[in-house]
Structure 1
C-alpha cells in the first residue's frame, strides 16, 4: 500500500505450489477509508526458496489500482503488467473484496472421510479438503485447505479452526462448499467429489453426534446410472466459541512481561572497533540498541512497573572469565531487572565494556529461563485468570549453534503464555533461521513433536535499513516483529479456555 510517499508491504498470501491458475485462500485485511485515495499494488512472484525477501524470486507481474476501485467492483479483474507497463504474457489477477462483519466466533472442526475413490494408479488417493464460501457474484472463494493425508481412502484430518467471518462472513445460512481432492505432486490435483452445506447445518455435529454428507462428483454421476457417491465426508465434531480480542485481555488487566536476550559471541567483532556490531558510537546507536529500543518502547506500555530483565549469552564474565549463556547484563543475579528501556540500554553499554565476547551461540538457555517464569504464571491462571504474558526479544548475529535444543525449547514454550521475537543483527546468512518461524505446527522438535501454536517471529534487521533515518527503521522493525503478537496472545488464552476479566473502569 502507498503511504507517506512510499510503498509498504501489508501482507502476503500463501504459496500455491506447481499451479498456473492458483486460487489463494489467505485473506488480507485492509482499513478502508472513504475520504482517502488508497493506492494498492498487488505483485505476483514465483517462489522456490525459503528466504523472506522477494528480490531473489521470479517476478510474474503486478497490478496497481486503488482500494476504492476494488471495493466498488464486485469482482475486480485486470491483466498483470510488467514494471515497464507492458503486459506480462496472458496473466490476469482477480480480487474480491468484502466488508468484514464484526464477529468473535471461532469454529473448531474435525473432519474425516470413508471409502473415497481411488485416484492413483499405483496407490491409494492422497486426499485433502478445500473449503469455499459463496460470493455475492455467484462465484466461490477458497478460504481454507486441510493438510494432505497420504495414501489413505479413509483419512482423518487434523482438527483446525476458522473464524465464522472467514468461513461464511458471519452468515450462518450462507452456502459453504467442501470439495475433496487427490493431491498430485505436479499440481494437477484430481477432483474426488464435494457437497454444499452451511454453518447452521454443521453446528448440528455436537459432541457425540457425527454428521456426514455424500461426496459427489457430478461428472461421474452424469455418466454412471447407478452412481451414488465417491465416498462420505464426516464432521466428527464442531465447537463454536467466542473469540476475545487482544484489547479485551489488555483492558482486563493482562500484563506483558518483556525480556531481552543479547548475543555476546565473538563473531560480533571487537566492540572497540567501528566494524563491530557491538561498537557504541557517540553519533548513532548500533543495531542491537535500535532493536531493543524500537520493540521495547512498544511493549513497555503494557507493563505497569517498567522493570525488564535483560540477559546475555556467549560471553566470558569477570572475574573468573567463565563462559555463560544465561547471565544478567547488569551483573546482579538476584535482581536482573532494568528500570525502563533506557535502563536496559545503559546496562548493555556497561556490559559490553566488561565482558569478553566468546561463544558458541547457544540461545536455548535464555528461552528456557523465560519459559520457567511463564510456566509459573500458567500455574496461577486458575486463581488469577489471564494475568501475565511473556515476550522474549532475542538478538543474535548468526545462526544458532544449538539449533536442536532451541527447537526443543520452542516446542515446550509453545504451550506457555509466551512469544519469541528473534532479530538477526548484521549481514550474515539467516536463511536457516526461517525454520524456527513456522506456522500451524510446521516447526517440530528434534523428536518430531510439533509446536502447540506458532510463537516465533524472525526477521533480519538488514531488511529495514532502507529507511532514511533510524526512527523510521525502528518504527518499521517494531511494526513488523510485533504484528503477530496480538494473535499469539488470543490463541494462547483460547487454547487454555481462559477469558479476560471484566474491563477496568476508564
Structure 2
C-alpha cells in the first residue's frame, strides 16, 4: 500500500565556495534533486534555474516534495556547471553532491553540509545549505510591474533590469523570486509573474518585503540599481487606475545632494488568488481519462520470434505489457468507470488489410473501450495474432483522435475531464512534422501525452517532443503553450520494480493538469460533484 502523504515541504537551496570549472569566467551552477524511496533506483524530482557566473548561488526556484512520514525518502542534491542546452547532465561539469533523508532536513529545518565528489572526497570548500518549510498555504500573488527612469549602468547601450524579491526570516533576507531580464531598457515592463504568498511573506501581510533592482551582466557582476522595502498590505493598495509606486534608492548615491532616486518601480497589479493543487482537482471530482496507443509497425519484429518486442514470453510478459501494467495501474484509480479506449497503429488490419494508424484493439470502432488495465492487456493479446505488422510509424492520427474528445470536454468549461494518452513505441517517428503540429494543438486542450520507448532504438526524436529543453514548435513556428509530453525509454527501468516506471512517466501529469486548468481559470468541480460522473465525451 502506498504511504499516505502527510504534507508538502518546500526546500530552498543555496551554495557557497563552489568549484570553478570555467576558464575565463565562473561556473554556471544548477541544482538537481533526486529522490529514492526503494532499492537503488533514483528518480529526478526537479531542477533549479541556472545561475550564471556565480560560485555562491542562491537558487530562486524551490523544490516542493511530498513528505511521507512512513517512508525513508533519500534525497540527493547534485550541483552541476551547465555550459550547454542539453537536458542530459552527463556532459556537464559535476561540482559536488550531498545526500541525506528528507526527515533529516525537516527535523533540523536548516542544514548546511560540505559537498562531496563521486569518490566521496570533499568538493573543494563547497557547501550546500537547505532550508525546509511545510506548505500550508496555496495562495499566490499575481504581479504586473514596470519601472521608469532607471539608472543606466551600462557604458554601451542601456541597463538590462530585473527584480529580486526577498522575504524576511529569522536569519536574514531570503530570496523568494527573480523576474525575467528586460534587455536594454530604462523603462522596463516585466511580463506578469506570480510568487507563492508563503515564499513572499509567510502569509503575514505586514511582514517586510525587500525588492532589489539590478542591471544584468553576463559575467555575473550584476550592478545594483536600487532597493525599496514594502509589505503586502501596502502592495495591495494598488489599482489599475492608481498604481502603487516605489522609489528605488541606491545607498551609495544618497550622499550626493542632487540625488533623488535611481528610478521608480510601479506596481500595476498585485492580486492574491488561490492556486489549486492536483489533489484539489482530483478530490473535487476531476476524472482522468486514460487512452492507450500501441505501435504495431514491422520494426518490432515477428511476434512469433523471441527477438520481437511483441513476443510474449512463457511468463506472459513483454515490454509493451509491462508498460501498460505499470502506468495503467496508477492511472485507473483516477477514472471512475475504468473503461479505457485502446488503439493500435502501423498495422494492416482485417478484413481489407489496409494500413491503419488508429484502429481499436477490439476491431469495433463503435466500442473501443476495455474494462480496466486487465481489459487492455486482454485486447492486446487477442489483437496481436490477427494483424500484420507494417508501417510507417505515424503518431499524429492517434494524438488527433484523443484531442477531438479533449476538445469536446473543453467546451463544457469545467475542470471535470482530463485526458492522458499513453503511446508505446519501438522507434523513430515517420510523421514528425504532423506530430509536432498535433502536440502544439493539443497543448491548448485538457490533455497530456506519455511516450514509452521500448527496445534499443535511437530515441533522439522523442527527446525533442518532450519540451523540457525549450518550447516545442510546429513546423509553422507556432509554439506549444505548455509542455504536455513526457518521454521515457523503457530500458532505463528494465530491472526496476514496476512502480518506478509509473512514478517516472506520470511525474509530470499532476503539474500539467494544474497548469492547464489554471491557464483556463477553471476551479475544481464542487466537492459535492458525484465521483461517478460521466466519463467525458465517448470515443467513437
| Same fold (TM > 0.5) | yes
Report the Cα distance in structure 2 between the residues aligned to 1:226 and 1:341, rounded to whole angstroms. 75
Q: Give the SS at the match of 1:11.
A: strand
Q: Which runs of 5+ in 2 are unaligned?
A: 1-34, 532-540
Q: Give the SS at the match of 2:365.
A: coil
Give, in angstroms, the shift of residue 67 of structure 1.
Answer: 4.2
Match of 2:265 in 1: 233
Match of 2:385 in 1: 353
Match of 1:310 in 2: 342
Give, in angstroms, the shift of residue 36 of structure 1.
Answer: 7.8
Q: 1:135 to 1:264 in 2, by over 3 A?
A: farther
Q: Is the 8 A contact 1:386 1:501 kept in 2?
A: no
The question of 1:430 aligning with 2:463 is answered: no
The question of 1:456 aligning with 2:485 is answered: yes
Q: Is the 8 A contact 1:260 1:311 kept in 2?
A: yes
Q: 1:41 to 1:304 in 2, by over 3 A?
A: closer
2:186 to 150, 153, 169: 153
Report the Cα distance in structure 1 between the residues aligned to 2:106 and 2:156, rounded to whole angstroms. 47
Q: Is the 8 A contact 2:86 2:469 kept in 1?
A: no
- 235-244 or 475-484, which moves further after superposition? 235-244
Give, in angstroms, the shift of residue 247 of structure 1.
Answer: 3.1
Match of 1:482 in 2: 506
Match of 2:18 in 1: none
Report the Cα distance in structure 2 between the residues aligned to 1:190 and 1:270, rounded to whole angstroms. 65
Q: Is the 8 A contact 1:249 1:501 kept in 2?
A: no
Q: 1:440 to 1:56 in 2, by over 3 A?
A: closer
Deviations 1:295-329 (A, max 9, x none): 11111122222211112223333344433322222
Report the Cα distance in structure 1 between the residues aligned to 2:448 and 2:74, rounded to whole angstroms. 33
Q: 1:214 to 1:397 in 2, by over 3 A?
A: farther
Report the Cα distance in structure 1 between the residues aligned to 2:421 and 2:494, rounded to whole angstroms. 23
Match of 2:397 in 1: 365
The question of 1:324 aligning with 2:356 is answered: yes
Report the Cα distance in structure 2 between the residues aligned to 1:439 and 1:202, rounded to whole angstroms. 34
Q: Give the SS at the match of 2:271.
A: strand
Q: Give the SS at the match of 1:29.
A: strand
Q: Is the 8 A contact 2:348 2:356 kept in 1?
A: yes
TM-score, normalized by length of structure 2? 0.82
2:210 to 161, 177, 184: 177
Match of 1:412 in 2: 441
Coordinate RMSD, CA, aligned: 3.0
Give, in angstroms, the shift of residue 138 of structure 1.
Answer: 0.9
Q: Which runs of 5+ in 1 are unaligned?
A: none
Give, in angstroms, the shift of residue 489 of structure 1.
Answer: 2.2
Note the 1:39-50 alignment, pairs <5 A.
40-49=75-84
Match of 1:12 in 2: 46
Deviations 1:464-489 (A, max 9, x none): 2342xxxx1x2011112223322322
Give, in angstroms, the shift of residue 221 of structure 1.
Answer: 3.8
The question of 1:492 aligning with 2:516 is answered: yes
Q: Give the SS at the match of 1:304.
A: coil
Match of 1:443 in 2: 472
Deviations 1:2-30 (A, max 9, x none): 54454634623324153332221222234
Match of 1:502 in 2: 527
Q: Give the SS at the match of 2:342.
A: strand
Report the Cα distance in structure 1 between the residues aligned to 2:190 and 2:117, rounded to whole angstroms. 40
Q: Is the 8 A contact 1:127 1:150 kept in 2?
A: yes
Q: Give the SS at the match of 2:112.
A: strand
Report the Cα distance in structure 1 between the residues aligned to 2:163 and 2:495, rounded to whole angstroms. 42
Give, in angstroms, the shift of residue 37 of structure 1.
Answer: 6.9
Match of 1:61 in 2: 96
1:300 to 292, 310, 332: 332
Q: Is the 8 A contact 2:51 2:59 kept in 1?
A: no
Q: Is the 8 A contact 1:127 1:181 kept in 2?
A: yes
Q: Give the SS at the match of 2:386.
A: coil
Deviations 1:233-263 (A, max 9, x none): 2222233222333333333332211111222
Report the Cα distance in structure 2 between the residues aligned to 1:252 and 1:65, rounded to whole angstroms. 35
2:122 to 62, 70, 87: 87
Report the Cα distance in structure 2 between the residues aligned to 1:69 and 1:371, rounded to whole angstroms. 45
Match of 1:126 in 2: 160
Match of 2:140 in 1: 106
Report the Cα distance in structure 2 between the residues aligned to 1:449 and 1:317, rounded to whole angstroms. 35
Report the Cα distance in structure 2 between the residues aligned to 1:41 and 1:277, rounded to whole angstroms. 34
Q: Is the 8 A contact 1:370 1:390 kept in 2?
A: yes
Report the Cα distance in structure 1 between the residues aligned to 2:182 and 2:461, rounded to whole angstroms. 27
Report the Cα distance in structure 1 between the residues aligned to 2:85 and 2:383, rounded to whole angstroms. 36
Report the Cα distance in structure 2 between the residues aligned to 1:33 and 1:350, rounded to whole angstroms. 41
Match of 1:283 in 2: 315
